[in-house]
Structures are given as structure tokens and as C-alpha cells.
Amino acid sequence: QGIGWWVLGFTSMAVAYLFLFLRDLVPIRLITVIAANALILGGPIFTYIGVMRFLERHENRGIIVSILAVFTAAFLYYTYVEDNITLRTGIVYGAVALVSFLTAQGLFLNRSPAITTSAYLNTALFLLNACFFAFRALVALTVDPVSSLFSPTMMQSTSFLFLFVEGIL
């Protein structure tokens, strides 16, 4: 159980990247901005659900619904009311960090003896991912505002790399 959710998470990320690259070509840019970022958050959420189901546990729906509600309200506001890419970046990466922490916690607390070694490794990877995205959100909101999604900055490139590598690992 859970593997189908992992596939859904990987698919979500792949479609998110497609929307990101199409955002300047599609006439309704704000739709592609919302869809891409919702799918970027959907990937880790589906992965979390898959991990919990793989471990024969249930995901914490209350926390997931709360993250989605706050993310959706804030993201819509900073897209349609006050267009602010820096705040949207902080919101997306902050939400991804929360879900990564949640996945690490679920994996660590619910590991079985048969998968202890791989559970420790993956817990460490999810924690690393969560710490990076928490740091990324903080940097975007305080030190290095985002002017464009495709700015060739080290932090922006590293963010895309972390999102990509997380799915593979």
C-alpha cells in the first residue's frame, strides 16, 4: 500500500514543472501560477500519504487540511489581490517544509524492524529537505526577495534541484 500515492506525488511534481515552463506561454498566466504551485505542494502531500499508507498507518488529515487551507487562502490572496512573487515563494516553500517534516516524523515514529535502516536514511533525507525548504522560505522572505521564478540564482537553482531529487530518493 502507498506506492500508488508515491506515483501520484511524482506525477504531480512533473505536471507542476510543465506548468512552470508554460506559465509565460499560456494566456491565463494566473491559472498556471496557481496550478503549478498547488501541484508543487501536492507532490509532497501525496508522498506523505503514500509513506503513511506504506507503513500501514493513516495520514493526519487534520494537519494536511489545515496546511492546504492556509496555503490556498494565502496563495490566492498573493496572486489575485496583491501580486507578490516573494510571498508566494515563501508560502510554497514553507508549506513544502511542513509536509516534509510531517513525512519525516511519520516515517521515524512508525518504522518497522524490517525497514529500520532505510527508514532512518529516508527520515534523514526528509529532514534535510524540510530544513532546506524552511531555510529557503526564510531567505526569500528576508534576505533575497524573488523577482522572477526563473532567476538564475544559486538559491533558485538549488530549490528546483531539491524538489527534483526528493522525488527520486
Mean pLDDT by 10 residues, the chain (169 residues): 91 86 71 85 94 94 95 91 90 94 96 91 93 91 71 66 68
Distance CA 84, CA 75 (A): 9
Residue with cell 526569500: 140
Distance CA 34, CA 18 (A): 13
CB atoms within 10 A of CB 82: 8
Per-residue pLDDT, 127: 95
